[in-house]
């Protein structure tokens, strides 16, 4: 703004100078001018300095320039310094699990504390003898104000020393909301002029927009090597939900400098699997093992690198879970064959005749059965190709099985397979999940048996799909922050210690205008600009058409 | 000076002035009409013996042979023709429109208007001639009929129009417009190019050969312009050749040089033009920046003896 003001100051000075300089001669128009032709020209200066001519055009032009200067000052007013005001800094410190990453002789949290100290000292130096004040907040998966209106740097050091990393993930949206709310929303006794976010995460793109409000992102991380568990997955039986296999994804961030051993132990403590990763460039691997017995399985990565929360992980494999069924149709022998258990109290699934009244629960509705060969063939009129009920079905067989139409189905069912004249052979309902099948598995090994088995199992698999099996592990949360057993701190990206640091913004401890002041000043500068334009146009018009007194 | 300012003399005053001039004993001042009385009309009066100085063209050779004594010639004399012709040439260039506060052209037009009115009231014929015009056909405007100030002003209106560019000297129409024994009144400031000055002077000299009376009315605004000029650093603008650097220091020495150049130009004109029937009327502006032009004109018009001679009737 200083440059712009200098330019306009120069223009005003130039305008005044123009109106101060007048010709030193008087112009005379004579009829006898021709007789002066041979006279010698004047040797002295033909300009002289005198008081500004107080003409109307001079005042109009001066008004234009002054209005422009006032508009510029009001436009930049929010950024003007108020030297007498106290310096206030709001620190927002990352205390997620990754801040426990070891770097050199300490952790990243130690680096963050050192940064706080450094910034605090600079704030004190720029305060012109006044004691700066600080606010301190911390974030991981939650945002918390640690201390408000901290007076002086030594008090800041003491407060920051109490900050410890927590084995939790990082939610940058919380920081974004805090920064966007602005310094006014946070200011209490301490007038905040600078928001400093200290984290081991790279500066997000939105910090650019927030930098105009005094936000600075300081990424204190340096790339260090780490290896550990990044992902846990399992393979389950679709009917029973039994965990058949477990898999751990192991990933190295940065080159592996020494051999790393991955050991998997079972519920009895015996080693199920052991694998060794040789030294080399950045790499990843996965270990997969059968979970034949229920119980706790443990994977250990040794040595684990700079970040410790991904060095070990434990999962709990639940005992085989039998499906509880409310079976209200014939052929109870099928319960035994399928390994299901009859339970009419809290069933996972109901198997009901099509006209049963309690069909508003997850259920398989069974029709009147099949009559193969009667008639000989019934053409399929329409089918819903993407329906899971049709998986692996042979449509040629379906046309010869003499399936009986469903008749009237409960509300919400959508036909999946229809025969002549819209007769519904298969149907499904999304919520609550239910399927209509024409009949129970017939048994045997013929076409009818294979078709009826496939249709029934498709229906059972689809209806039971919504059942939530017990998880192998859980992640720590602000409510349960300490990892224990299968409560793990494997939050995404926390173990990625290899990122290059990205900081943004520069420290500027000058006090900032409040939003109210900014809005007040910025409300008026457009009017001043319009006034300047209006006066300029009026002056030009008068200059051209207003006669000699406006020239 | 597009607008013509009315003559600052009432018609009644002009009329009184005319009557007074007719009653006046011309004394030693021969009027223009007296000059013509020697007989320029076509109406024959009598024969009389030839005296040296008579126009040889008026010798009646037949009568001299029949009735005259030996070596005596008879000349024809004619009836007195009291009517005369007044041709007023007006210089309407840019220099005549200055000084702005008291333009010479205004005085020239007033003079032409007043003279034309009085002359026409006396039965004389008047023509107005534009000394500088690009259209010779329209250079001379004949004033006919009874004297009427509105008619005269209409005829004078073209002189007040500002031409878009300088116009050339136009003397050719005067051959027709100036019969012998007429009066040619030239109203100018003589701030002319030497070549133009020389042409006008020679034409004036030639005009005097036909018993024409040539009167130069020299409108001299220099005292007023000198007052305007003042002293010190000045930027001098005006018609005519322009200085490369129009700024100059006004000193007594510079003024003296300018005045001598003006005087030399006018003297040269007089020398060339004078041939017996030439008079110069010198109307010098008062030495004031804004003189009262109307008062100046009234004083000059009523007080100038040459103007009186132009308008005097013989007894």
* pLDDT band at residue B36 under the 50/70/90 scheme: very low
pLDDT surpassing 60 at residue A227: yes
Q: How many CB atoms lie within 10 A of CB A2?
A: 7
Q: How many CB atoms lie within 10 A of CB B293?
A: 20
A60 and A14, same structural domain? yes
Specify if B306 maps to a domain.
no
Under an 8 A CB cutoff, do B248 and A28 touch? Answer: no
pLDDT surpassing 70 at residue A74: yes
Specify if A413 maps to a domain.
yes
The pLDDT value given to residue B53: 67
Q: How many CB atoms lie within 10 A of CB B251?
A: 13
Specify if A286 maps to a domain.
yes
pLDDT surpassing 70 at residue B256: yes
Q: Are strands B125-130 and B85-90 parallel, antiparallel or unpaired?
A: parallel
- Asked if B65 has any chain A CB less than 8 Å from its own CB, the reply is no
Percentage with pLDDT > 90 across chain B: 46
User: What are the chain A neighbours of B266 within 8 Å (beta carbons)?
Assistant: none
A183 and A145, same structural domain? yes
**Three-state secondary structure call for residue A252:** strand
Q: Are A349 and A464 in contact (CB under 8 A)?
A: yes
Under an 8 A CB cutoff, do A25 and B96 touch? Answer: no
Q: What is the mean pLDDT of residues A222-236?
A: 90
- Among candidate residues A147, A204, A154, A151, the one with its CA nearest the CA of residue A174: A204
- The interface predicted TM-score of the complex, written ipTM, equals 0.81
Q: Of residues B96 and B146, which shows the higher confidence score?
A: B96
pLDDT surpassing 70 at residue B223: yes
B154 and B205, same structural domain? yes
A305 and A353, same structural domain? no
For residue A453, with 0-12 CB atoms within 10 Å meaning exposed, 13-18 middle and 19 or more buried, which class applies? middle
User: What are the chain B neighbours of A38 within 8 Å (beta carbons)?
Assistant: 257
pLDDT surpassing 70 at residue B297: yes
- Which of the residue ranges A107-111, A170-174, A268-272, B270-274 would you say has the lowest mean pLDDT? A268-272
Calculate how close chain A gets to B7, using CA atoms only, in Å. Answer: 23
pLDDT surpassing 90 at residue B87: yes
Specify if B309 maps to a domain.
no
Residues A22 and A26: their CA atoms lie apart, in Å, by 10
Q: Which of B25, B54, B78 is the C-terminal boundary of a domain?
A: B78
Specify if B288 maps to a domain.
yes
| Segments forming the whole domain that contains residue A454 | 324-464
Q: pLDDT averaged over chain B? A: 84
Mutate: best of B97, B246, B290, partner A, most A CBs <10 A: B246
- Asked if B196 has any chain A CB less than 8 Å from its own CB, the reply is no
Percentage with pLDDT > 90 across chain A: 30
A202 and A71, same structural domain? no
When CB atoms are compared, the residue of B228, B241, B257 closest to A30 is: B228
- pLDDT, one tens digit per residue, over B111-125 is 999 999 999 988 888
- pLDDT, one tens digit per residue, over A341-368 is 888 888 888 999 888 766 567 899 999 8
Calculate how close chain A gets to B219, using CA atoms only, in Å. Answer: 11
The pLDDT value given to residue A476: 93
- Locate the chain B residue with the closest alpha carbon to A45: B233
Q: Which of B63, B78, B93 is the C-terminal boundary of a domain?
A: B78
Which DSSP symbol is given to A422? Answer: G
Q: What is the mean pLDDT of residues A425-439?
A: 91
Q: Of residues B182 and A376, which shows the higher confidence score?
A: B182
List, as ranges, residues 205-244 from B with C-beta within 8 Å of A: 221-222, 225, 228-230, 232-244
The pLDDT value given to residue A362: 84
Tokens 């030594």: give the residue.
A154
User: ω into residue B109 within 30 of 0, thus cis?
Assistant: no
Greatest mean pLDDT range, A16-25, A305-314, A463-472: A305-314
* pLDDT band at residue B35 under the 50/70/90 scheme: very low
The pLDDT value given to residue A79: 57
According to DSSP, the residues that pair with A517 across neighbouring strands are none
The pLDDT value given to residue A228: 92
Which DSSP symbol is given to A549? Answer: G
Specify if A417 maps to a domain.
yes
The pLDDT value given to residue A182: 65
Q: What is the mean pLDDT of residues A98-103?
A: 92
pLDDT surpassing 90 at residue A282: no
Q: pLDDT averaged over chain A? A: 85
Under an 8 A CB cutoff, do A26 and B234 touch? Answer: yes
Calculate how close chain A gets to B246, using CA atoms only, in Å. Answer: 7
- pLDDT, one tens digit per residue, over B68-80 is 666 678 887 765 5
B249 and B177, same structural domain? yes
Q: Of residues B4 and A193, which shows the higher confidence score?
A: A193
Under an 8 A CB cutoff, do B243 and A43 touch? Answer: no
pLDDT surpassing 60 at residue A281: yes
Distances, alpha carbon B174 to alpha carbons A260, A512, B84, B143, B169, in Å:
129, 92, 16, 15, 12
User: What are the chain A neighbours of B233 within 8 Å (beta carbons)?
Assistant: 24-26, 42, 44, 46
Under an 8 A CB cutoff, do B238 and A27 touch? Answer: no
B166 and B232, same structural domain? yes
* pLDDT band at residue A153 under the 50/70/90 scheme: confident
Mutate: best of A26, A31, A42, A46, partner B, most B CBs <10 A: A31
When CB atoms are compared, the residue of A25, A29, A33 closest to B247 is: A25
B155 and B73, same structural domain? no
Give the list of residues 6+ apart from residue A87 with CB closer than 8 angstroms, or none: A123, A124, A126, A127, A130, A132, A133, A193, A194, A509, A511
The pLDDT value given to residue B32: 52
User: What are the chain B neighbours of A37 within 8 Å (beta carbons)?
Assistant: 240-243
Mutate: best of B95, B96, B189, B258, partner A, most A CBs <10 A: B258
Give the list of residues 6+ apart from residue B30 with CB closer than 8 angstroms, or none: B309
pLDDT surpassing 70 at residue B39: no
pLDDT surpassing 60 at residue A218: yes
pLDDT surpassing 50 at residue A154: yes
A503 and A476, same structural domain? no
- Among candidate residues B21, B152, B151, B179, the one with its CA nearest the CA of residue B85: B179
Calculate how close chain A gets to B147, using CA atoms only, in Å. Answer: 34
Q: What is the mean pLDDT of residues B250-266?
A: 91
B226 and B111, same structural domain? yes
pLDDT surpassing 60 at residue B28: no
| Segments forming the whole domain that contains residue B249 | 83-301
Under an 8 A CB cutoff, do B234 and A31 touch? Answer: no
A103 and A76, same structural domain? no
* pLDDT band at residue B92 under the 50/70/90 scheme: very high
B139 and B48, same structural domain? no
Q: Look at chain B and report how many structural domains it folds into.
A: 2
When CB atoms are compared, the residue of B238, B245, B257 closest to A30 is: B238
A161 and A234, same structural domain? no
Q: What is the 3-state secondary structure (H, E, C) of A475-505?
A: ECCCCCCCCECCEECCCCCCCCCCCCCCCEC
User: What are the chain A neighbours of B244 within 8 Å (beta carbons)?
Assistant: 41
- Which of the residue ranges A3-17, A118-132, A312-326, A509-523 would you say has the lowest mean pLDDT? A509-523
Q: In CATH, what number is assigned to the domain containing residue B257?
A: 3.40.50
pLDDT surpassing 50 at residue A81: no
Percentage with pLDDT > 70 across chain A: 91
When CB atoms are compared, the residue of B104, B189, B236 closest to A33 is: B236
| Torsion sign over Cα A409, A414, A420, A425 | negative
A218 and A231, same structural domain? no
The pLDDT value given to residue B190: 93
Specify if A441 maps to a domain.
yes
A525 and A536, same structural domain? yes
B182 and B54, same structural domain? no
What is the largest distance, in Å, between two alpha-carbon atoms of chain A?
140
Under an 8 A CB cutoff, do A42 and B237 touch? Answer: no
The pLDDT value given to residue B1: 53
pLDDT surpassing 60 at residue A71: yes
When CB atoms are compared, the residue of A33, A34, A46 closest to B233 is: A46
Alpha carbons within 13 angstroms on the beta-carbon side of residue A291 total 28
């Amino acid at each position: 703004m200083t440059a712009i003001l200098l330019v306009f100051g120069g223009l005003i000075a130039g305008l005044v100078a123009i109106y101060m300089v007048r010709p030193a001669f008087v112009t005379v128009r004579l009829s006898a001018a021709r007789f002066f032709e041979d006279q010698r020209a004047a040797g002295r200066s033909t300009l002289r300095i005198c008081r500004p001519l107080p003409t109307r055009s001079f005042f109009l032009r001066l008004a234009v320039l002054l209005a422009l200067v006032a508009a510029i000052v009001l436009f930049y007013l929010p950024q003007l310094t108020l030297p007498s005001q106290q310096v206030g800094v709001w620190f927002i410190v990352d205390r997620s699990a990754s801040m426990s990453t070891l770097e050199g002789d300490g952790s990243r949290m130690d680096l963050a504390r050192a940064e706080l100290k450094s910034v605090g000292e600079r704030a004190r130096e720029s305060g012109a003898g006044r004691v700066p004040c600080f606010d301190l907040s911390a974030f991981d998966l939650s945002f918390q104000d640690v201390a408000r209106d901290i007076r002086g740097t030594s008090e800041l050091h003491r407060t920051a020393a109490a900050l410890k990393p927590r084995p939790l993930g990082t939610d940058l949206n919380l920081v974004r909301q805090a920064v966007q709310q602005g310094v006014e929303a946070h200011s209490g006794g301490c007038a905040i002029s600078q928001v400093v976010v200290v984290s081991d995460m790279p500066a997000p793109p939105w910090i650019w927009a927030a930098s105009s409000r005094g936000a600075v992102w300081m990424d204190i991380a340096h790339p260090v090597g780490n290896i550990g568990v990044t992902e846990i997955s399992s393979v389950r039986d679709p009917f029973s939900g039994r965990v058949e296999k477990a898999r751990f994804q192991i990933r190295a961030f940065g080159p592996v400098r020494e051999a790393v051993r991955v050991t998997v132990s079972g519920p009895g403590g015996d080693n199920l699997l052991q694998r060794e990763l040789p030294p080399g460039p950045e790499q990843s691997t996965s270990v997969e093992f059968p979970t034949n017995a229920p119980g706790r399985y443990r994977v250990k990565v040794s040595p684990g690198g700079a970040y410790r929360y991904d060095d070990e992980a434990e999962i709990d494999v639940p005992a085989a879970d039998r499906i509880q069924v409310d079976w209200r149709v014939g052929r109870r022998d099928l319960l035994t064959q399928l390994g299901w258990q009859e339970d009419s109290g809290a069933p996972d699934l109901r198997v009901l005749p099509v006209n049963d009244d309690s069909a508003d629960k997850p259920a398989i509705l069974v029709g009147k059965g099949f009559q193969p060969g009667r008639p000989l063939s019934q053409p399929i009129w329409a089918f819903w190709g993407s329906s899971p009920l049709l998986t692996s079905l042979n449509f040629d067989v379906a046309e010869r099985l003499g399936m009986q139409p469903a008749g009237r189905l409960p509300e919400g069912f959508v036909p999946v397979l229809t025969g002549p004249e819209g007769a519904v052979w298969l149907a499904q309902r999304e919520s609550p999940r239910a399927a209509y099948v024409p009949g129970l598995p017939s048994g045997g090994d013929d076409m009818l048996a294979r078709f009826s088995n496939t249709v029934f199992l498709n229906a059972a698999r689809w209806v039971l799909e919504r059942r939530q099996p017990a998880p192998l592990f859980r992640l720590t949360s602000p409510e349960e922050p300490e990892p224990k057993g299968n409560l793990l701190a494997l939050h995404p990206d926390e173990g990625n210690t290899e990122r290059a640091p990205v900081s943004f913004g520069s420290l500027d401890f000058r006090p900032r205008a409040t939003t109210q002041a900014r809005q007040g000043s910025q409300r008026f500068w457009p009017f001043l600009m319009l006034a300047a334009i209006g006066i300029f146009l009026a002056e030009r018009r008068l200059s051209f058409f207003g006669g000699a007194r406006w020239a | 000076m597009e607008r013509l300012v009315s003559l600052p003399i009432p018609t009644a005053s002009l009329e009184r002035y005319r009557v007074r001039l007719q009653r006046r004993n011309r004394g030693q001042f021969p009027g223009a009409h007296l000059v013509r009385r020697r007989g320029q009309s076509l109406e024959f009066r009598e024969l009389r013996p030839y005296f040296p100085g008579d126009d040889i063209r008026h010798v009646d050779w037949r009568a001299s042979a029949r009735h005259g004594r030996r070596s005596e010639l008879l000349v024809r004399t004619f009836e007195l023709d009291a009517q005369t012709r007044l041709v007023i040439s007006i210089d309407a260039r840019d220099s005549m429109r200055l000084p702005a506060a008291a333009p010479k052209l205004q005085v020239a037009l007033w003079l032409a208007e007043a003279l034309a009115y009085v002359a026409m009231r006396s039965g004389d014929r008047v023509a107005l001639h534009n000394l500088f015009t690009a259209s010779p056909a329209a250079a001379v405007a004949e004033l006919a009929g009874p004297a009427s100030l509105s008619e005269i002003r209409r005829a004078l209106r073209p002189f007040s129009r500002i031409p878009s560019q300088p116009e050339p000297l136009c003397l050719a129409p005067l051959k027709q417009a100036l019969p012998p024994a007429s009066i040619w009144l030239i109203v100018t400031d003589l701030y002319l190019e030497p070549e133009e000055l020389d042409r006008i002077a020679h034409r004036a000299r030639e005009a005097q050969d036909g018993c024409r009376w040539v009167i130069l009315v020299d409108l001299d605004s220099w005292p007023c312009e000198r007052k305007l000029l003042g002293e010190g650093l000045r930027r001098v603008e005006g018609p005519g050749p322009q200085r490369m650097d129009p700024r100059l220091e006004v000193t007594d020495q510079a003024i003296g040089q300018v005045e001598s150049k003006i005087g030399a130009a006018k003297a040269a004109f007089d020398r060339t033009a004078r041939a017996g029937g030439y008079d110069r009327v010198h109307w010098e502006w008062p030495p004031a920046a804004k003189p009262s032009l109307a008062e100046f004109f009234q004083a000059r018009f009523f007080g100038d003896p040459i103007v009186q001679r132009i308008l005097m009737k013989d007894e």
